[in-house]
Amino acid sequence: MNRTAPHKKIGLRRLATCMAALGVLVMSSGIALMVSASPATAANKVGICHATSSDSNPYVFISVDDDSVKLQGHLAHKLHPNKTWKSAGTFHGVPHAAGDPKPDLIGSFTDDQGVFHLYDGNITAASCEGAVAVTEATADVDFTEPSCANRNQPSFDTTGSHVSFAITSGSNTPATTIVVTATADPGVTFADGTTTEVFTHTYGPAVDLNAAPCATADATAAVVFIDPTCANLNDASFTTTGANVTFAITSGSEAPGADIQVTATAALGHTFGDLATKKVFSHHFGDALNLAGPPCVVVGPPAPNADSTASVHFVDPTCDNLNDASFTTSGDHVSFAVTSGSAAPGADIEVTATADAGHTFANLTTSRIFSHHFGDAVNLNGAACSAVTPPSSEPPVVSVPSITPVTPTVVEAGLVGPLTPDLRGEQGLVLLVAGMVLMVLSGALSLVRTTRRVRS
């Protein structure tokens, strides 16, 4: 039998199946490519405002292909313009000055490769049309005449746009002609096409500031100069008072021994009573004082201490002192002396207390006087002195009262008394026997108790 035939049949079938599957796959791919293919597109058009050399008709509209070769020249005109604005102005709200570059304006677009290019937005013919607004310079000058208010200082004010001002002749002076020139900014002109405009004016004469209606005579001024003293520590100075006025040192300075000049100036629109606008106050300051000595410092002894005290006790003649008239003293920071009389019976005496150096009494005095008249002498041999018994030197005898001893009575538990016989012997024996009986009974009881215990 031939066993290879089935295998061969199977191999042929597998080969056929693979080839069929591959064919289906190739067909599917072809269909997919056909479906995804897009038709060819034509070149895109791009709107451009092409710059011109005219400011009145600055742009023209053109439409070109987005081909890079054709667009390259317009890109160069946008990035590196070959046209400029001849005058200042605005185009579609965008300002420019004379001489500024005028680039091409290119519309934004998507090229044939699907790439978006961002430039100047949607450019149409309307975008390129429109008048150019021309910027013009304007200028005006207002002159102010000399007056009371400006103290004869004339001036001028300027207003304008795209312009600068300068004095080209004269000055701001009364009765003088002044010329102010306005110059337009670069690239800008005035309405008549010029770049400058001239303003000429002659100021009026100055007014009298010290007469009505300019001046009001209500300014006042006063200056008080203060010389160096011990109290102000040699501070030379001055104070001012006044109304509608200012003060300033116009000469010299505030210093001991120096000259000074202070000027008072009336405020604008005011004068002093004599219609003057200034008043001058001059002064020469005194020399500086010696702050460490006279007259500022007075050198003297130190103030004394008020701590002295003094008292005197006078003793008149008596029998006891055997007619010795005398006195005793006491005190602090003081000395005593008899300045009049003497210490004698019937005599007058004056004792003066003098405070020590550097000390005073409480009332700030330095001395105090104590006066006294001693009594007369007594008769030492008379009755007044001899009637006195001198005290004994032996101590007095003190009698001691006698004490009678008392024998105490002993009571023995109430058994012995004056009506009871003495039975203490009998009582003692009874007590002895009773004690022995009690002892025997106690022993017997002990034996009985022991026997019972054994039996049990």
Backbone angles phi, psi at 34, to 5 degrees: -70, -40
Is 144 contained in some domain? Answer: yes
Judge if 225 and 264 occupy the same domain. Answer: yes
Please tell me the predicted confidence (pLDDT) of residue 53.
87
Q: How far is CA 374 from CA 294, 315, 324, 348, 379, in A?
A: 55, 8, 10, 6, 16
pLDDT of 101 above 90 = yes
Please tell me the predicted confidence (pLDDT) of residue 250.
97
Please tell me the predicted confidence (pLDDT) of residue 18.
62
- Identify the domain containing residue 82 by its residue range: 45-134
Task: Report d(CA 221, CA 223) in Å as an integer.
Answer: 7
Judge if 224 and 269 occupy the same domain. Answer: yes
Token pair 């103290």 in the structure block, residue: 151
Is 361 contained in some domain? Answer: yes
Is 340 contained in some domain? Answer: yes
Task: Report d(CA 103, CA 265) in Å as an integer.
Answer: 67
Is 403 contained in some domain? Answer: no
CB-CB contact of 279 with 253 (8 Å): no
Task: Report d(CA 432, CA 439) in Å as an integer.
Answer: 11
pLDDT of 31 above 90 = no
Please tell me the predicted confidence (pLDDT) of residue 13.
64
pLDDT of 378 above 50 = yes
Number of domains in the chain: 4
Most confident of 19-28, 245-254, 261-270: 245-254
Please tell me the predicted confidence (pLDDT) of residue 143.
95
Task: Report d(CA 175, CA 323) in Å as an integer.
Answer: 124
Is 31 contained in some domain? Answer: no
Judge if 52 and 126 occupy the same domain. Answer: yes
Judge if 143 and 188 occupy the same domain. Answer: yes
Q: Is 435 helix (H, G, I), strand (E, B) or coil?
A: helix
Q: pLDDT band at residue 410, thresholds of 50, 70 and 90? A: very low
Judge if 274 and 230 occupy the same domain. Answer: yes
Task: Report d(CA 162, CA 196) in Å as an integer.
Answer: 11
pLDDT of 400 above 70 = no
Please tell me the predicted confidence (pLDDT) of residue 1.
45
Q: Is 270 helix (H, G, I), strand (E, B) or coil?
A: strand
- The sign one gets for the Cα dihedral 44, 45, 49, 52 is positive
Bridge pairing between strands 237-243 and 220-226: antiparallel
**Looking at residues 163-184, what average pLDDT do you find?**
96
CB atoms within 10 A of CB 259: 12
pLDDT of 414 above 70 = no
Q: pLDDT band at residue 42, thresholds of 50, 70 and 90? A: low
pLDDT of 440 above 80 = no
Element (H, E) at 179: strand 177-184
Identify the domain boundary among 373, 389, 408: 373
Is 387 contained in some domain? Answer: no
pLDDT of 415 above 50 = no
Which has the higher per-residue pLDDT, 22 or 37?
22
Percentage of the chain exceeding pLDDT 70: 75
Q: Which of 100, 185, 198 is nearest to 135 (CA)?
A: 185
Q: What is the pLDDT of residues 350-370, one digit of tens each?
A: 999 999 998 999 898 999 999
Please tell me the predicted confidence (pLDDT) of residue 70.
61
Which has the higher per-residue pLDDT, 89 or 25?
89
Most confident of 54-63, 155-164, 299-308: 155-164
Identify the domain boundary among 101, 116, 134: 134
| DSSP 8-state class, residue 317 | -
Percentage of the chain exceeding pLDDT 90: 44
Is 328 contained in some domain? Answer: yes
Judge if 70 and 92 occupy the same domain. Answer: yes
Is 18 contained in some domain? Answer: no
Least confidently predicted of 8-22, 57-71, 224-238, 432-446: 8-22
The pTM of this model reads 0.33
Judge if 154 and 177 occupy the same domain. Answer: yes
CB atoms within 10 A of CB 183: 16
Judge if 227 and 160 occupy the same domain. Answer: no
What the block records as the tokens of 371 is 């006066």
pLDDT of 44 above 90 = no
Please tell me the predicted confidence (pLDDT) of residue 38.
44
Please tell me the predicted confidence (pLDDT) of residue 413.
41
| DSSP 8-state class, residue 101 | B
Q: What is the pLDDT of residues 258-299, one digit of tens each?
A: 999 999 999 988 889 888 889 999 999 999 999 888 889 877
Q: Is 365 helix (H, G, I), strand (E, B) or coil?
A: coil
The full DSSP string for 111-167 is -TTS-EE-SSS---HHHH--PPEEPB-EEEEEEE---TTTTT--EEEEEEESEEEEE
pLDDT of 77 above 70 = yes
Q: pLDDT band at residue 200, thresholds of 50, 70 and 90? A: very high
CB-CB contact of 367 with 353 (8 Å): yes
Judge if 328 and 259 occupy the same domain. Answer: no
Judge if 51 and 123 occupy the same domain. Answer: yes
Q: Is 102 helix (H, G, I), strand (E, B) or coil?
A: coil
Which has the higher per-residue pLDDT, 376 or 4?
376
According to DSSP, the residues that pair with 183 across neighbouring strands are 164, 196
Q: What is the pLDDT of residues 328-352, one digit of tens each?
A: 999 999 999 999 999 999 999 999 9
Identify the domain boundary among 148, 168, 202: 202
CB-CB contact of 227 with 287 (8 Å): no
Judge if 238 and 197 occupy the same domain. Answer: no
Judge if 143 and 128 occupy the same domain. Answer: no
pLDDT of 418 above 70 = no
Q: Average per-residue pLDDT in the chain?
A: 82
**Looking at residues 386-411, what average pLDDT do you find?**
54
Q: Which of 439, 442, 412 is nearest to 427 (CA)?
A: 412
Q: What is the pLDDT of residues 10-21, one digit of tens each?
A: 555 666 666 666
Please tell me the predicted confidence (pLDDT) of residue 386.
79
